Amino acid sequence: MLTATEFYFLRHGETDWNLQGRAQGQTDVPLNDRGRAQARAAQSLTKHLPITRICSSPLSRALETAEILQEALGCSLEVIEELRECSWGVCEGGSKGDWFQDWKSSLSNPVGAEPYEAFLKRALQGLNKALTYPGPVLIVAHGGVYWSVQKHAALGAEFDLPNTVPVRHEPPREGFPWWQASELDGYPRECNGIEQ
């Protein structure tokens, strides 16, 4: 169960492998110049938010994004191992072909890959570890980690979160018995009737 507290989530900036459509997984691919520029642009979307702490994946693409945001926010930064992207084993570096949907459907598991359900559980542990800090917390991690948010906050079908778009999450409360998520880039999307 996802800890019922307000938080923000932001996917890391772009990497060359993002640009090329390659499966990164736990391969530590750094931000490219555009990814760094995206992170700097996200400073203007986050600097006035009441964020008290940033929690980041240890992978450099997320950690560098978090460090750039920290410059504007001026708050503490914690690295949480469980927020690391999923390992896709031998498929890392390749394209997301048929193997990817089979993996997500638990029909097969590439050699060396983390099973899909085990990954979602581990990501949830990382999210909840981040949410033990006084908040609201900004979690800087990966698209795959966000699937765990989508599942455990019942936000509807999975989608790939764009790079460096902050998303605010509000827990269920009186009159709103479900999680609400809203993107802070000015381009909200609808997902099962919930604004994201």
Nearest Cα to 194, choosing from 40, 177, 185, 186?
177
Q: Please state, in angstroms and rounded to a whole number, the distance separating the CA atoms of residues 33 and 141.
A: 18
Q: State the angle between helix axes of 33-46 and 60-73 in degrees (0 to 180), rounded to the nearest 10.
A: 40
Is position 114 annotated in a ligand binding site? no
Does 36 show up as a binding residue in the annotation? no
Q: Both tokens of residue 160?
A: 């790939």
Can 64 be counted among the known catalytic residues?
no
What is 25-85 written as a DSSP string?
A: TTS-PPB-HHHHHHHHHHHHHHTTS---EEEE-SSHHHHHHHHHHHHHH--EEEE-GGGSP
Question: Do the annotations mark residue 27 as ligand-binding?
Answer: no
- Is 163 among the annotated ligand-binding positions? no
Catalytic residue chosen out of the listed positions 12, 142, 152, 169: 12
Q: Could you confirm whether 169 is annotated as catalytic?
A: no
C-alpha to C-alpha distance for 94 and 115, rounded to whole angstroms: 18
For residues 115-146, one letter each, b for 16 or more C-beta atoms within 10 angstroms of the residue's C-beta and e for the rest, the string is ebeebbebbbebbbbbbebebbbbbbbbbbbb
- Residue 11 annotated as lining a ligand binding site: yes
Q: Is residue 13 part of an annotated ligand binding site?
A: yes
Catalytic residue among 64, 85, 92, 114: 85
| Residue 17 annotated as binding site | yes
* 16 annotated ligand-binding residue: yes
SS3 153: coil
12 in a known ligand binding site: yes
Binding residues: 11-18, 61
Residue numbers belonging to the annotated binding site for substrate? 11-18, 61
Mind telling me the catalytic residues? 12, 85
